[in-house]
Amino acid sequence: MPMRVVIVGSGAVGSSIARELLAHDHDVLLIDSKPEVIGRSGLRGARWLIGDACELSTLADADLPDTHVVVSATGDDKVNLVVSLLAKSEFGVGRTVARVNNPKNDWMFDDAWGVDVAVSTPRMMTAMVEEAVEVGDIVRLLTLRAGVSSLVEFTVPDESPLVGRTMGFVAWPEDSTAVAILRDEVPIAPSDDDVIEGGDQLFFLTTIQAEDELRSILSGSVSAAGGSPGEQ
C-alpha cells in the first residue's frame, strides 16, 4: 500500500531512506534548507520543499495532515526532536520516525517529544516507516553477512490463512528460521507448538534468495502445509 512520506534532511541518511521508499512506489517529499541538494541528490521521482522544517509555515506547506509518516533524518538531534514534536502536536501526523545521532540523547526521543520510533540506522528507519502500513508483507530490518542473509519481520493479518496454525505445521523454507514472535509487545521464543495469531509479528533469519519463497508462504499465495498429516 503506497504511503505519503515526508523526510526532513536529504543527507546520506535521508537520501538512503528516500531512495528505498521510492523503489517501493511510495510518495516521498524531502524538506531541506539548501536548494543545491536537489541537483546532486539523484533521487528520481521525489518531490522537494526548500525551507526550515522547524518552522510551522514550512511544515504547513508540506501538507502534513495528509501525510502517513514524517521522518526526521537530519544530523542534528535538536532539529529531529522539534520536527517530531511539531508534526505530532500541531498536525496530528500518525507516525513519526526520528534519527538519533548522539546515543546520550536517546532518552529524550519518546512520546513526550512526539517521537513514535527512534532509530539510528537508515535501514532500520526505512523498515519502521514501512511498518506503518505494511501489515501482510515482509519488512527487511537488517542485511547480514555482506548481503547474503537478512533479518525480516512479518505482521500477520487477522484474515491470514496462517491464523490458527502452529509454527510447526507451516513448511517454512529450508533457508529461513523463525527466531522470535512479538505478541502484544511481549517477545516469545517460537516453538513448533506455538499457535499463530492475527497481529503477531514474526521475525525470521533468512537468506536473501529465500525471501521470495518466505513471502509467498506468509502471504498465503502458496500452500503453507507441512508437519504431520492431519495436523491442524
Q: With 70 as the cut, is the pLDDT of residue 205 above it?
A: yes
Quick check: is 31 in a domain?
yes
Cβ–Cβ under 8 Å, residues 7 and 73: yes
Between 21-30, 61-70, 85-94, 123-132, the lowest mean confidence (pLDDT) is in: 123-132
Quick check: is 227 in a domain?
no
Overall domain count for the chain: 2
Band the pLDDT of 231: cuts 50, 70, 90: very low
Quick check: is 230 in a domain?
no
Q: What is the DSSP letter of 20?
A: H
pLDDT at 147: 61
Instruction: Please indicate, yes or no, whether residues 99 and 143 belong to a single structural domain of this protein.
Output: no
pLDDT at 201: 87
CA distances from 15 to 20, 44, 61, 186, 199 (A): 9, 11, 21, 33, 31
Instruction: Please indicate, yes or no, whether residues 62 and 126 belong to a single structural domain of this protein.
Output: yes
Instruction: Please indicate, yes or no, whether residues 158 and 185 belong to a single structural domain of this protein.
Output: yes
pLDDT at 80: 96
Instruction: Please indicate, yes or no, whether residues 176 and 197 belong to a single structural domain of this protein.
Output: yes
Tell me the average pLDDT across 55-66.
95
Instruction: Please indicate, yes or no, whether residues 12 and 126 belong to a single structural domain of this protein.
Output: yes
Full residue range of the structural domain in which residue 195 is found: 138-219
Cβ–Cβ under 8 Å, residues 211 and 152: yes
Q: Which helix (H) or strand (E) holds 122?
A: helix 122-130
136-153 tens-digit pLDDT:
567 776 666 556 788 888
- CB neighbourhood size of 92 (10 A): 10
Instruction: Please indicate, yes or no, whether residues 149 and 75 belong to a single structural domain of this protein.
Output: no
Quick check: is 28 in a domain?
yes
Mean of per-residue pLDDT scores for the chain: 85
Q: State which of 85, 106, 130 marks the end of a domain.
A: 130
Instruction: Please indicate, yes or no, whether residues 201 and 98 belong to a single structural domain of this protein.
Output: no
Q: State which of 113, 130, 147 marks the end of a domain.
A: 130
Domain CATH number, residue 63: 3.40.50.720
Instruction: Please indicate, yes or no, whether residues 120 and 147 belong to a single structural domain of this protein.
Output: no
Instruction: Please indicate, yes or no, whether residues 22 and 119 belong to a single structural domain of this protein.
Output: yes
Instruction: Please indicate, yes or no, whether residues 39 and 96 belong to a single structural domain of this protein.
Output: yes
Cβ–Cβ under 8 Å, residues 101 and 130: no
**Pairwise CA distance, residues 176 & 162, whole Å:** 17
Tell me the average pLDDT across 205-226.
81
Quick check: is 76 in a domain?
yes
Percent with pLDDT over 70 in the chain: 84
Per the listing, cell 518466505 goes with 214
Quick check: is 214 in a domain?
yes
Q: With 80 as the cut, is the pLDDT of residue 34 above it?
A: yes
Quick check: is 228 in a domain?
no
Q: Is 7 helix (H, G, I), strand (E, B) or coil?
A: strand
Quick check: is 224 in a domain?
no
Q: With 60 as the cut, is the pLDDT of residue 232 above it?
A: no
pLDDT at 8: 96
